[in-house]
Chain A
Amino acid sequence: MRPFSYSRAEDIDTAVNEVTAHEDARFIAGGTNLLDLMKIDVIHPQHLVDITHIAHDTIENTEDGGLRLGALVTNADTAYHPEVEKRYPLLAHAILAGASPQLRNKATDGGNLLQRTRCYYFYDKTTACNKREPGSGCAAIDGYNRLHAIFGASEHCIATHPSDMCVALAALDARVQVTGPDGSRTIPFEDFHRLPGDTPEKDTNLREDEIITSVDLPPKGFADHYTYIKNRDRASYAFALVSVAATLEIEDNVIKDARIALGGVAHKPWRNKEAESLLIDKPADRDGFQAVAAAIVKEAKSFRYNEFKIELARRSIVRALMEASQTYQ
């Protein structure tokens, strides 16, 4: 690792001041993604601001009946929190499908949102990568692109976002609370991550001097009808090829609300609200689920090595909705 200087922030304002005051500074939380990338010199900040001593490390009820996940709560403490297990089991399942117990004990909820892509070329400094080095090209487009996007890619980058947790947060319509030098703002989850377009170096709409303070869950947790399916190359400790978070609200076998978020297929957790709306006021049955899956994958575009993802996504959506329609508390 290249040398860097270090300071510790005890509160949000100090953290924001510290990161603005130092050239090329970053926050460090669990460190499980940042240090990984610093060791191979893909990123090389000159200063780290340690935010793990900031008190935003609890899970609390919000006034609207939802739940606030402090940015510094670990992924493990989130997944095993009684309120999360009971009211947002989709989120608990998605977190536990990711990484390993050791990593989840360190990884934080804020850091999880900001983890970088697992595109092999992004990690390999001998190759061209617009995300790592803007303007250098994209080695994945004509390279080995098995892990890569089938939705929303651009000619500049076809990487996917690797998080499991974020797929559940997208389905749950979470809101991200952030604070910067100009004050605080709320970012709806769907606007947090971005598509690559012609600036793939930017993964999210968070500004560099802004810190995530919490991730807020709305009251509706879909605890009766949910599922998270993660398809990967081995049964655990691997990133998703295609994952699906599906939630349903069903009354008398009629669907009242439906969310479908896909992971491993785009630069951000992928939702298609128009397709989701096809399910509303319809019976919860396989025919309806197949129609939605077809509508979602209609927009998919594959590259040389990832064509399999389209059929995998279609089938996984149907299976996820079938399972979700059957889960009862």
Chain B
Amino acid sequence: MRNQPHETIEDVRSDAIEKHHISLTINGTSYNLEVEPWTSVLDLLREHLNLTGTKKGCDHGQCGACTILLEGKRINSCLTLAIMHDGAEITTIEGLANNDGLHPVQQAFIEHDAFQCGYCTPGQICSTIGLIHEGKAKTLDDIRDLMSGNICRCGAYNNIVKVVQEALENHKNQTP
């Protein structure tokens, strides 16, 4: 077995790589930013903008804790580069509530007790909103399948499925 020590970043490449300018609208606020090419949207949110509601679980697309809405579509913010999204509109968990109170899906998570530690919850909520917009979930099995990109280590799945089901019904009633 070979077990080489990792080369450090300094060994490999210089600081010569330039930052790029991008502008983003996040939760309705515009930002003008200088980003390094390798900064993920997740790291940009958490480390640079202090929007720490979006969580880092695995950093590899496997858990869904980092789910955000990019142009209204749910994606994993850990597996995409900020630099690729100049001009884009992003919604995170911080952007869902308004002056009237919590977003209905946030409220439903509380009412149905759909979390324990809460670490996966911001991702679950953004994913639920994405799922509703997609309009593809018809049955309980569909809900389970189309929420499977969000892992909950506490196993709050039963109540999460109830929330999604209720949110879908409310959405149907509002848009005849």
Contact = CB atoms under 8 A, between A and B. Distances in A.
Interface in A236-283: 236-237
Contact of B131 (A28, A101, A103, A127): A101
Contacts of A3: 9, 12-13, 17, 36-38
Interface string A1-23: 11111101000000000000000
A101 B76 CA distance: 10
Interface of A: 1-6, 8, 28, 30-32, 35-36, 39, 41, 44, 46, 48, 50, 52, 76, 80, 99-103, 105-106, 126-128, 136, 235-237
A36 B79 CA distance: 7
Given A35-B40, A100-B148, A103-B149, A6 B20 contact: yes
A102 B37 contact: no
Interface string B111-140: 000000000000000010011001010000
Given A6-B37, A6-B83, 16 more contacts: A2-B13, A3-B38, A4-B37, A5-B17, A36-B60, A39-B60, A76-B134, A101-B74, A101-B149, A102-B130, A103-B76, A106-B80, A126-B2, A126-B3, A236-B145, A236-B148
B88 to A, nearest CB: 11
Contact of B67 (A2, A8, A102, A235): A102
Residue from A28, A80, A100, A102 having most chain B Cβ neighbours under 10 A: A102
Contact of B149 (A31, A102, A127, A235): A102
Interface residues of B, number: 39
Given A100-B64, A101-B130, A4 B9 contact: no
B1 interface: yes
A44 B11 CA distance: 13
A28 B37 CA distance: 12
B26 interface: no
Contacts of A41: 6
A164 B170 CA distance: 34
A52 B136 CA distance: 25
A48 B81 CA distance: 11
A312 B136 CA distance: 31
Contacts of A103: 61, 76, 79, 149
A9 to B, nearest CB: 12
